[in-house]
Amino acid sequence: MKRYELIVIGAGPAGLSAAVEAANAGMSVAVFDENARPGGQLFKQIHKFFGSKEHQAKIRGFRIGQQLLKQAEEAGVEVHLNSVVMGIFDLGEITVQHGDGVCHYKGDSILIATGACENMVPFDGWTLPGVMGAGAAQTMMNLHGVQPGSRVLMVGSGNVGLVVSFQLLQAGVEVAAVIDAAPQIGGYGVHAAKLARIGVPFYLSHTIVKAEGTDHVTGAVIAQVDESFRPIAGTEKHLDVDTVCIAVGLSPMSQLARMAGCEMTEKGGAVPVVDEYGQTSIPGLFVAGDVGGIEEASSAMIGGRIAGAAAARRSGYLPEEEFREKASALKASLGQLHEGMFSPKNKGRRDLTVTDEGYHLSKTLLHHGYLSEEEVAGFPGAAPGKSAGIHPVIECTQNIPCNPCQDACRFGCIRVGDHMTALPAVDENARCVGCGMCVASCPGQAIFLVNDEEEAGTATVTLPYEFLPVPEKGTKGVALGRDGSVVCPAEVVEAKTAGFMDGTVLLTMRVPSEMSMKARFFKTGEGTK
């Protein structure tokens, strides 16, 4: 029986982070994962992460996964794939199925980082081919290069539903609508706004009643719900779709912890009771990531590092003082991600009406996915009163833990401050040079450069563009407003990118001057002569 000082079950962001932390402390570490490739959810995530520089903000998820794998290799971590951990037994023994064989391993400490699984909702036709979890659709697109369908209904407006909907659009799939039984959008407003300005409609207080078809999905019926979330007769709507994606939350995959005899509690599903460092009621058995409670990948990685360091302390590789110093710094970093209106303590709340600064939250954003022009002007990122010259317009109006825009601007035009959940503000007295670094760095694609000093009667708007093909200079089309409606003719002035922009194109379009605060997306050809 082969022995390791730490066995990690799960090669996702939490498991790999824990393995790297422990191995760098000197431990012998092995990671077991049932999948054919490591990285968990990271390699499906092509969007840029939120947070600060220390949380790897503005870096795409799959690149973070690549970095973690490289760090694990350099630290000497053994990663075993296609390896199903069947059980955890007394004295740190696990059984692992490799193909047709079963092997036994022993760990001085064991860390469970098995993640979470997608929730499903039963409805008429929910077993038809074409009904799938949003994560499954993401796997098909981003790992295997396969479109899950041609026209999709997304059920769920949390961050998963919003992010995957945008990625469906990037893959050339039409998103017919995003629906949610809740009365307001559950995920980040900036994610919803990306969809709204492309024309994706939101149906809130709606549920799916039926997936139509005999051997595959050919359509869907949705209906409005009452306060008890029951469909209201007579409100049914038919949507022509061939795919239904379900994004109604995740459940921790805590079966191994339960089998091992851990004390359990309820936290969005059954999860093990842990101390502040991720150790369960069983000494030497740790958990990290979604298996201990559903959070974002950034939080999972920090939690993994804390648990990995705790395992190293337990085996004598980290002196107590050094461990406490490291753990304190990591917990402080995690605490930053736990601030603002999307913090764990506010999860599920629908009664928040103002930001931390006292600004009234946008009702159109919460209920329709976009901001009105009047609402934008009331926030500090819009540079109210600035009427000429090039300047950023920041349409980030919620207390999201994120500050790369502040770091990106070398001229001090953008301020977030010490608390990264603070609303970004534009300094009207600072000099904007129009470099576009802020536009490219924003994970929410919520920053635009407006230049009112163009030719007489015109202005330019520079926006983030992550679709193919990229329109060339001189391409004529239309500008879309925040709600996805056509607002005016537009012409591409420039489309540029660079390595530091990591695939984000800065597309600059010329529009009539009176449309500079309305035009937010470019569409080729439509409505032009």
99-153, pLDDT tens digit by residue?
Answer: 889 999 999 999 999 999 999 999 999 999 999 999 999 999 999 999 999 999 9
For residue 59, the surrounding DSSP H or E stretch is none
Q: Is-contact 478 527, C-beta < 8 A?
A: yes
Q: What is the mean pLDDT of the chain?
A: 94
- Sign (positive or negative) of CA dihedral 413, 415, 420, 421: negative
> pTM value?
0.94
Predicted confidence at residue 315, as pLDDT, reads 97
CA distance linking residue 370 with residue 484, whole number of Å: 9
Average pLDDT on 252-269 reads 93
Residue of higher predicted confidence among 345 and 385: 345
Lowest mean pLDDT among 87-91, 226-230, 512-516: 87-91
The yes-or-no verdict on residue 500 having pLDDT over 90 is no
Position 385 confidence tier, pLDDT thresholds 50, 70, 90:
low
> 420: burial class by Cβ within 10 Å (0-12, 13-18, 19+)?
buried
Lowest mean pLDDT among 45-54, 347-356, 513-522: 347-356
276-324, pLDDT tens digit by residue?
Answer: 999 999 999 999 999 999 999 999 999 999 999 999 999 999 999 999 9
The listed CATH number (3.50.50.60, 2.40.50.140, 3.40.50.300, 1.10.579.10) that belongs to domain 2-117+250-337: 3.50.50.60
Predicted confidence at residue 501, as pLDDT, reads 85
Average pLDDT on 514-519 reads 95
Q: Does domain 120-246 have CATH number 3.40.1050.10?
A: no
Average pLDDT on 256-274 reads 93
Position 499 confidence tier, pLDDT thresholds 50, 70, 90:
confident
Per DSSP (E only), the strands in 225-319 are: 237-239, 243-246, 250-252, 264-266, 270-272, 285-287
Lowest mean pLDDT among 17-31, 375-389, 400-414: 375-389
CA distance linking residue 199 with residue 369, whole number of Å: 10
Average pLDDT on 249-255 reads 95
Predicted confidence at residue 170, as pLDDT, reads 97
Q: What percentage of the chain exceeds 70 in pLDDT?
A: 98
- Report the 10 Å Cβ neighbour count for 174: 16
Average pLDDT on 181-197 reads 97
Predicted confidence at residue 498, as pLDDT, reads 84
Per DSSP (E only), the strands in 213-368 are: 219-224, 237-239, 243-246, 250-252, 264-266, 270-272, 285-287
Average pLDDT on 243-256 reads 96
For residue 175, the surrounding DSSP H or E stretch is strand 174-180
DSSP sequence for 483-528: TS-EEEEEEEEEEE--GGGTT-EEEEEEEEGGGTTT--EEEESTT-
Predicted confidence at residue 336, as pLDDT, reads 93
Kindly report, as residue ranges, where domains of CATH 3.50.50.60 are found in the chain: 2-117+250-337, 120-246
Position 413 confidence tier, pLDDT thresholds 50, 70, 90:
very high
Phi–psi pair at 437, nearest 5 degrees: -60, -40
CA distance linking residue 519 with residue 463, whole number of Å: 10
Position 529 confidence tier, pLDDT thresholds 50, 70, 90:
very low
Q: What percentage of the chain exceeds 90 in pLDDT?
A: 88
Predicted confidence at residue 345, as pLDDT, reads 87
3-state secondary structure of 463: strand
